[in-house]
Amino acid sequence: TQSRTLDDHYAVGISSLYNIALIRFQGAGIVGRYGVIGRVFEKLAGKKINIILVSQVFSEHSICFAINPKEVELTKMLLHKEFSFELENRFIDSIQIEENLSLIAVVGEGMRHTPGIAGKLFGLLGNEKVNLIAIAQGSSERNISFIVNEQDVKPAIRILHSSLFSGLDKLNIFIVGTGLVGTDLIKLISQNETLIICGISNSKKMVLDKTGINPTVYQDELENGQEADLDAFITVAKNTPNSVLVDVTSSSTVAEKTAELITNRVSVVTASKLANSMDQDYYDAIREKSKKSTAQFLYEANVGAGLPIIDTLQTLLSTGYTIIKIEGVMSGTLGYLFNEFDNSVPFSELVKDARKRGFTEPDPRDDLNGMDVARKILILARETGARLELTDVTVESLIPEDISPDLTIPDFLEELAKYNHLFSKKLEEARTLWKVLRYLASWDGRKAKVSLKAVGEENPFFHQYGKENFIVFTTKRYHDVPMVIKGHGAGAEVTAAAVLGDILKCKK
In the complex, the smallest distance separating the C-beta of residue 110 from a copy of itself, rounded to whole angstroms, is 13
In angstroms, the CA 310 to CA 166 distance is 32
Nearer to a copy of itself, 152 or 372 (CB): 152
What phi, psi does 64 have (nearest 5°)? Answer: -140, 140
The residue within the footprint of a copy of itself, chosen from 211, 224, 318, 404 (CB under 8 A), is: 318
In the complex, the smallest distance separating the C-beta of residue 466 from a copy of itself, rounded to whole angstroms, is 6
In angstroms, the CA 390 to CA 208 distance is 36
The angle subtended at Cα 388 by Cα 383 and Cα 393, nearest 5°, is: 100
Positions in 152-211 near a copy of itself (CB under 8 A): 188, 191
Positions in 422-481 near a copy of itself (CB under 8 A): 463, 465-468, 473, 477-478, 480-481
Count residues binding a copy of itself (CB under 8 A).
114
Residues 6+ apart with CB under 8 A from 400: 416, 419, 422
The residue within the footprint of a copy of itself, chosen from 144, 254, 374, 395 (CB under 8 A), is: 144
In the complex, the smallest distance separating the C-beta of residue 255 from a copy of itself, rounded to whole angstroms, is 23
Nearer to a copy of itself, 195 or 368 (CB): 195
Q: Binding string to a copy of itself for residues 363 to 392, with x set by CB under 8 A, is what? A: ------------------------------
In the complex, the smallest distance separating the C-beta of residue 334 from a copy of itself, rounded to whole angstroms, is 15
The residue within the footprint of a copy of itself, chosen from 60, 229, 342, 363 (CB under 8 A), is: 60
Active-site pick, 273, 376, 435, 453:
376
Positions in 108-127 near a copy of itself (CB under 8 A): 113-127
Q: For 181, how many CA atoms within 13 A lie in the half-sphere containing its CB?
A: 26
In angstroms, the CA 488 to CA 485 distance is 10
Nearer to a copy of itself, 285 or 504 (CB): 504
Q: Is 356 a catalytic residue?
A: no
**SS3 for 111-133, per residue?**
HCCCCCHHHHHHHHHHHCCCCEE
In the complex, the smallest distance separating the C-beta of residue 155 from a copy of itself, rounded to whole angstroms, is 11
Positions in 19-48 near a copy of itself (CB under 8 A): 22, 24, 26, 32, 34-48
In angstroms, the CA 136 to CA 143 distance is 8
Positions in 242-281 near a copy of itself (CB under 8 A): none
Sequence-separated contacts (24+) of 367-372 with Cβ below 8 Å: 367/331, 367/333, 367/334, 368/334, 368/397, 368/398, 368/399, 369/395, 369/397, 369/398, 369/399, 370/395, 370/396, 370/397, 370/398, 370/439, 370/450, 371/395, 372/273, 372/331
Q: Which are the catalytic amino acids? A: 376
